Structure 1
Amino acid sequence: MTVEKVDTLVVGAGQAGVALSEHLSKSGVPHLVVERHRIAERWRSERWDSLVANGPAWHDRFPGMEFSDADPDAFVPKEKVADYFVAYAEKFAAPIRCGVEVKEVRKIPGRPGFRVETSDGVIEANNVVAATGPFQRPIIPRVVPDDAEVLQIHSNTYRNSDQLPDGAVLVVGAGSSGVQIADELLRSGKRVYLSVGPHDRPPRAYRGRDFCWWLGVLGKWDAETPGPGTEHVTIAVSGARGGETVDFRRLAAQGMTLVGLTQAYENGTITFAQDLADNIARGDANYLSLLDEADAYVARNGLDLPEENAAREIGPDPECVSNPTLKLNLAEAGITSIIWATGYAVDYSWLKVDAFDEKGRPKHQRGVSVEPGIYFLGLPWQSRRGSSFIWGVWHDAKHLADRISTQRKYLAYHASAKREPATA
């Protein structure tokens, strides 16, 4: 059996794999990127039809290429984002092989390198980079049993309102995905219930600048660790319809029913936590704190940016917040479908190496694994807050490429050095 040999094998050709390939190419590191589907496939087939990027085109891109035919302040549709990565890979002739699934990676005993079993044969690589990103295995909490008389899907399989049966919808999760899907369903004429947990709620824009700009100048994208208790707090932000601040009070005024965190299910009835008002208040506090920091930055630097006093106007709590629903019988409410916008878990079951903790999380420092020769890319907070975003993963990829290149130089010296044994 023929065994293909390569210095560095990159698993995954999404934004992380394409970024790393560029930096490895610039460093002269021979490598191969394998992708089980197409380049940036998740943007195409695991997101809803109307999805656009949550950041403007000037921000959510790699430094080396702008989006073609897109206003810098526009929010690019998902297909165009995927096309961008394809074009970027073509720009430097990235060695990407699509349609190849990695089944297993194991350390080769007694010598450097790893044996990689793929759907296209065996590859031996000195280095393996898991560039599969954070969105690998959809999480549906075990709350409502599978045999309940209601359709249950994860947000990654939602495409549009037409795929849902007639009736009301419960959307669980009020991060960017959940709130955008709930809003779309409400606009389609659906009766919508939205389960709102703890969240951050930044302004889409303030004083003429997008929140991505504010997080940049305030140094928040470069924060190296999340604040206490914020590791898993979701962010409610949207680029839909040209971008707008997520406002749960507005959604309630338009007919959406907000409920608290989804807790339990019994005999056709879902129970919600008594935390809705607190979650809304926490989101408001996050929103206002960013406005405070932005105003202070403007004053400190003497910037000529227009004041926006109306942005601080927060209306009274709607009835569904001040008098929240704590129990909801699905049949009585006419709910025929539940969309779980509850995030993802990583899945490294194919990576049979000693690089994980007892919970299956990668043990690494800025993507450099404790297992020599194994690397990770695209993880949330890999080196900073912006690591899992398009521009952030590009900078993390440069760091990994530098590390891989440096290790190759040490090994090259070892292979070429010929020394005589020391004599007395």
Structure 2
Amino acid sequence: MAVEQVDTVVVGAGQAGIAMSEHLGKHGISHLVLERSRIAERWRSERWDSLVANGPAWHDRFPGLTFSGDPEVFVGKEGVADYFVAYAEMIDAPVRCGVEVKSVERLSGRAGFRVETSDGVIEARHVVAATGAFQTPIIPKLIPDDAGLMQIHSSAYRNPEQLPDGAVLVVGAGSSGTQIADELRHAGRRVYLSVGPHGRPPRAYRGRDFVWWLGVLGKWDLQSQPGLEHVTIAVSGARGGETIDFRRLAGEGMTLVGRTQTFANGRLTFADDLSDNIRAGDANYLALLDEADAYVERNGLDLPEEPEARRIAADPACMTDPILELDIAEAGIASVIWATGFSADYSWLKVDTFDARGNPLHQRGVSREPGIYFLGLPWQSRRGSSFIWGVWHDAKFLADQIAIQHSYMQYHRAASGQSKPAEPALQD
């Protein structure tokens, strides 16, 4: 049986894979998008039921298609997944669902790669790993399995009814952890939220959403800075969008603690850093307001002042008298939700372009292994890279690089007097 051949294999049909397909298609480059499940599967089956996008519909999209309805709404997870299905149909993306990529290895003595899949072998000149960075849930080995607690990652959480009766400890106060903790509190659960370092932008200020402010202030285009790339952002589109205010959450009945440190003999300990973490988040919040005010004045914009946005409430008791140790039985804690992020798994990609920890070595997604590309990584080219619109622009850059390689091969064949099929002209 002849081995199937294609110029580029794109692994993954989430937002990154669909964006990559669009740009490869514009260049006329033959490609396949291989997806082990369904298009945008993680939006459907690896997120909680009430999840909405963190940005409004006018912003969190690709340029070629708008969401139907009010552009200011925060679209639910099923709506986001449906959007990518519709986008793939619109661009006629060559997606094959239900096909798992098992390994990718360089061919011996000739250009390209052997892509072994659950549906056979494909040979490709280029491979784009569009699986992103949110692949393997990270659950710290802190609380043993026999501690009598239900422990799940935030990606496995669906709704409050899923959890046993009792209080809940949510570890991690980024967007996911804070939204889940708040949902549980609204459901009548007693909630402990372990808060680490974070950024805390306003949901909206002076009539504009924070995504607009980050855009006009150039913050989406920030390059990666040591330490900054790992600081989580506490922002939410839940209930129509609201600024996350940890003091308010405490005032409404949530118990805040510092970073979760140890567990022994039924007792948890927490770092004495809660106040520092929250005050650093306040500073981040106020600094953005300062920059926004300066931008309004500098550009003469008619946006109403919002002095109440600068009012910081008094510290709650959990900040002034922090809990540093907690007996889980006395606290009634029956479950722990780890909102502690993800790691990447590229074990299927058997090429030399990873560091000692398994992280991709690349420049803007172009790996040090010729012909291998990465897409959908946080801070791949800038701060906005892991957002829906950001990955679209990163995909364009990678498709352009593949097209550039085509142009060099065109020259090689012409200079060598070889016959060749027609290839697309390099686009700007």
Task: Please classify the TM superposition score into its range, dividing by the shorter chain length.
Answer: over 0.9
- In structure 2, the partner of 1:218 is 217
In structure 2, C-alpha distance between the alignment counterparts of 1:108 and 1:75, rounded to whole Å: 46
Q: How many residues align?
A: 418
User: Match for residue 358 of structure 1?
Assistant: 356
The residue correspondences of 1:196-215 to structure 2 (distance < 5 A) are: 196-215=195-214
SS in 1 for 2:43: helix
- Aligned residue for 1:399? 397
Corresponding residue for residue 45 of structure 1: 45
The offset of 1:419, in angstroms, is 5.6
Question: TM-score with structure 1 length normalisation?
Answer: 0.97
Q: CA deviation at 1:76?
A: 0.3
1:225: how far off? 1.9
| 1:333 matches 2:331 | yes
In the other structure, the counterpart of 1:90 is: 89
Aligned to 1:114: 113
% identical aligned pairs:
75
Structure 1 segments unaligned to the other structure (5+ residues): none
| Shift, 1:411, TM fit | 1.3
Separation in 2 of the partners of 1:232 and 1:110?
Answer: 40
Determine the structure 2 residue equivalent to 1:146.
Answer: 145
Aligned partner of 2:424 in structure 1 is: none
Distance 1:47 1:229 in 2: 27
What amino acid sits opposite 1:413 in the alignment? Y
Alpha-carbon offset, residue 337 of structure 1: 0.2
Could you say which residue in structure 2 is the equivalent of 1:349? Answer: 347
TM-score (ref. length: structure 2) = 0.96
The 2-side partners of 1:111 and 1:419 are apart by 19
The residue number in structure 1 matching 2:237 is 239
Mapped partners of 1:159, 1:55: distance in 2? 21
Please give the root-mean-square deviation of Cα atoms over the aligned residues, in Å: 1.0
Aligned to 1:55: 55
- Give how far 1:410 is off: 1.3
CA contact (8 A) 1:2 1:122 kept: no
**Match for 1:267 among 265, 269, 287?**
265
Cα distance in 1 for partners of 2:359, 2:103 equals 17
User: SS state of the match for residue 147, structure 2?
Assistant: coil
Is the 2:266–2:327 contact (alpha carbons within 8 Å) kept by the matching residues of 1?
A: yes
In the alignment, the residues of structure 2 paired with residue 105 and residue 266 of structure 1 have an alpha-carbon distance, to the nearest angstrom, of: 43
Shift of 1:412: 2.6
Cα deviation, 1:300-357, whole Å, max 9, x if unaligned, reads: 1111100000000001110011101001111111000000000000110100000111
The gaps in structure 2 that reach 5 residues or longer are 419-428
d(CA) in 1 for partners of 2:57, 2:157: 25
Aligned with 2:334: secondary structure? Answer: strand
Mark the CA change 1:262 to 1:386 in structure 2 (over 3 Å): closer, same or farther.
same
Q: Residue 414 of structure 1: CA displacement?
A: 1.7
**Contact 2:193 2:256 (C-alpha < 8 Å) held by counterparts:** yes
CA–CA distance in structure 2, aligned partners of residues 229 and 99 of structure 1: 38
- Is the 2:269–2:326 contact (alpha carbons within 8 Å) kept by the matching residues of 1? yes
Q: How does 1:238-257 map to 2 (within 5 A)?
A: 238-257=236-255
What stretches of structure 1 move > 2 A for 4+ residues in a row? 415-420
2:235–2:243 contact (8 Å) kept in structure 1: yes
Task: Tell me whether 1:16 sits opposite 2:16 in the alignment.
Answer: yes
Equivalent-residue separation in structure 2 for 1:150 and 1:419 (angstroms)? 70
Q: What CA distance in whole angstroms lies between the structure 2 residues aligned with 1:26 and 1:354? A: 30
Q: Which residue of 1 aligns with 2:422?
A: none
CA shift, 1:416, in A, is: 3.5
1:20 and 1:397 in contact (8 A); partners too = yes
Distance in 1 between residues matched to 2:398 and 2:90, nearest whole Å: 21
Q: Secondary structure at the match of 1:351?
A: coil
- Aligned 8 A contact 1:262 1:270 in 2: yes
SS in 1 for 2:60: coil
Mapped partners of 2:2, 2:140: distance in 1: 44
